[in-house]
Structure 1
């Protein structure tokens, strides 16, 4: 608000969206020269479509009181030509966008839109979940977009974690920024805890052939609640989503991952409105997404990076609510608990595996034998899981060589990892 660039870091679920939406509107309201329909005063860039949709909704709560401002959402999965026509017809004083689509719009002069000319009046640029923007490989797009924007602007970087890549972006895109680090009430200023204080964090140690049984047992015991279940790959989401549908009855089960093109927005919107249900997902849902009343975040696979673990957990216990998270670990992975406690200041307590759990693996096997599509999904899931496991940043804990052979849950036979890759 005092015309300085900002690099803000705050624990996930603390309300960063309002921290930039409100000042953006205040700054635009203070302009001496009012914005014309196609003049862009503010751009908010965020890594995923779901987060962009969410920010656009929050923004619309405010802009309905200020009809002089037009806003537009530019994300993948929609027709870019329709976006251009919408911009020309209704304007876009405030743009909420994902990097790929925004860069594409800057380069579409042949379609009758010169966005580079429209942004000459830009006052504010916001990069939300800045570390994730770079982590997802958008660095080239971000740099291309920055080249189109005027240098005289206010820039804000908002993130739950500040990485070295974010530091590089701060140096490149911000002028002498004010650094803001927000802690929760009751947490010492010296504390670096990155998860909400109202979050109950658990881990469960169980063998590979017990994991699925324990997950299904847990979900059956908590049918009336709302859960996110994280897997490491898109193929795992496809396979386990299908498996859970047949194992957990009378519960709405939905799947979402990054390779979905047109269904993602509908699934996300529908799940947010559900009073209870299960969303099977990849890390596309790990950042900034605000789904009301999530009771449990279940991590079937630990994420590739420790910071992603914190962001997954942050989908519950948001804005002062209570919530719980549970990660399933193999016996050889138990040291991950101590690693998270030190590396992410994320203490966890053990939850013992339930006893006398029904063995569902024979049922999975019969599903695969009866339906070729299920068998194929299982094969793809297993191969992608192995490949993701091999790329884990904590390779000292998640050792591929120590897991040289493992139970292939799609076909119930022991496969070496080389066999899985060949398959």
Structure 2
């Protein structure tokens, strides 16, 4: 590992001086193992399928060979001819890759142009019109946007016929998000004579299938890391891990009612550090993120980012990258590939929905040899998840002892926020419901069992004023929850416009009375359903009786077979009509009917 990482750029591959100077300007002195293993092979016009730990420098491992291949086309690659397409699962990662490529492009030394095709940046027609007017040699984008642009723009479809390189970054995530059909559409527009690279931190069965379908004699490159000088009993004999060797991966356990308190006690002591805080759902990010912002706004820069934020996602992402300290509260939309400088801690308040996402979350820190820390908060019933991750994902963890000297009850402060603003109360209810639903669908359902949850303690940790009605709790006895003495109907919105609408709705309800509850047609028509069921039974019985009437014994079947042979002979003119009539018996009338 040490020998490979000390390899310099100039000694491994013969790149142009401009590319080498750009690499030096970006601060990369030595090559990482994945770059050493991938770049020479990819530059020899081989298809590659690369698996390496997150944060190991995979972006440069495909950007450098791609530019070198395009360099060979200088003079032949025209304005509207696309030489390379890079597909990424998220707009943040695509934007990041585009920024890296832009660092290398220069009118004199590297005379190519690049285009970023992602959602949330404007109308697709603006992107296609820009391509028609200015052209582009390198396309970077998300699957949906690239596919849509190819379908809409005839000139782009014509341009990709000259494609030299196709890159699928975070290939397993592309397939996890359900882009199978979209990728198939994109591949249908691209020429088969091309170089293809698949890059990911994990290799799944779907990636292997994609490798077989879209690549020709690919070279599979797998770069592993080994833990040294650490005593983890669960490591296999080879000591191989899927997390960076410079990452300190830890866990802490607590009761459900103390989980938010533990998080806040930890965060308040990290004022000068940069933190990524992961939650399982968008509703949880909205609720807890806004609450943390209200509780700690004087001491922290706190930003929220999740999949339902469309237009400002890139702006929020770029802003957090530039911060020296602060907290980004997010979902797994930030778990893959994105490179945020100097992240000190990755906190996982909720366990990820699948095991591989755990490794990707942790990989937002300790990137390219830097030191980093990760901490996951687990309930007492979830401790077996530690052994599962160590065995399944080869990610060793140590227990982290929380400092419980703080006497602040942060859950009570959550309730106070809900009492002051009805919007906060409603966000809390939505977050609670979304968390329960996410927990019930967890991939590791043998560890994260819904029946092991204490709904009362969980509601206390969420700072709820009441427990919502939902099927998962309907038949369960909820204990360990004391609702505060407050008139929920009297809680007002801080937003005056929303409060005015609420009062108007209450007034209308008082004058017109309670509207009858909606009952679906299915629930209304039980008697009708019974009648239909009985009608189907009667028809089925009639068909059965009719079938029984049409059955024949052996003698009758033999007679019918002989009659059928006579009919065939008559049709083939092997016998005359007179001979046929002579051979018929008393059943002649019925046979004539058949003819």
Q: Taking structure 2 as the reference length, what is the TM-score of the superposition?
A: 0.68
* Aligned 1:19-418 pairs, distance under 5 A: 19-31=61-73, 34-64=76-106, 66-78=109-121, 79-109=123-153, 113-184=154-225, 190-248=238-296, 249-357=298-406, 358-403=408-453, 405-406=455-456, 407-408=458-459, 409-413=462-466, 418=471
When the two chains are superposed, the root-mean-square deviation of aligned CA atoms in Å is 1.9
CA–CA distance in structure 2, aligned partners of residues 58 and 313 of structure 1: 23
The Cα shift of 1:217 comes to 1.1
Give CA deviations for 1:59-78 in whole Å, capped at 9, x if unaligned.
01111364520100000112
Please give the secondary structure, in 2, of the residue aligned with 1:235: helix
Residues 49 and 32 (structure 1), Cα distance of their counterparts in 2 relative to 1, 3 Å cut: closer
- Structure 1 residues 82 and 32, CA, compared in 2 at 3 Å: closer, same or farther? closer
C-alpha contact (below 8 Å) 1:206/1:353 kept by paired residues: no
Greater share of residues in strand: 1
Q: Is the 8 A contact 2:55 2:337 kept in 1?
A: yes
Contact kept? 2:131, 2:156, Cα under 8 Å: no
Q: Deviations over 1:396-416 (max 9, x none)?
A: 000012226343224244567
Shift of 1:184: 3.7
- Number of aligned residue pairs: 419
User: How much has 1:418 moved relative to structure 2?
Assistant: 2.2
Greater RCO (Cα-Cα under 8 Å, separation 6 or more): 1
Which segments of 5 or more consecutive residues in structure 1 lack a partner in the other structure? none
Q: 1:259 to 1:35 in 2, by over 3 A?
A: same
TM-score normalised to the size of structure 1?
0.95
Q: Deviations over 1:50-90 (max 9, x none)?
A: 00010001101111364520100000112211111221222
- Is the alpha carbon distance of 1:350 and 1:157 closer, same or farther for their aligned partners in structure 2, counting shifts above 3 Å? same
Give the whole-Å Cα distance in 2 for the aligned partners of 1:397 and 1:419: 17
Counterparts in 2 of 1:141 and 1:42: CA distance versus 1, 3 Å: same
Aligned residue for 1:222, secondary structure, equals coil
- Deviation for aligned residue 1:238: 0.5
What secondary structure, in the 3-state scheme, does the structure 1 residue paired with 2:85 have? strand
**Which residue of structure 2 lines up, in the alignment, with residue 8 of structure 1?**
50
Q: Using the alignment, how far apart are the partners of 2:268 and 2:227 within structure 1?
A: 36
Which piece of structure 1 moves more, 89-98 or 348-357? 348-357
> Structure 1 residues 288-297 or 182-191, which shifts more?
182-191
Change over 3 Å in CA distance of 1:410–1:25 after alignment to 2: same
CA distance in 2, matches of 1:192, 1:308: 18
Aligned mates of 1:292, 1:159 — CA distance in 2 = 20
Deviation track 1:174-224 (CA, whole Å, cap 9, x = no partner) reads 111001111347779954410000100110101111111111111110000
- 1:2-36 deviations in Å (ceiling 9; x for gaps): 11110001111010000000000000111275211
Contact in 2 for aligned 1:382/1:410 (Cα 8 Å) = no
Larger displacement relative to structure 2 (352-361 or 117-126)? 352-361
Q: Which has the larger radius of gyration?
A: 2
Within 1, Cα distance between the matches of 2:57 and 2:370?
13
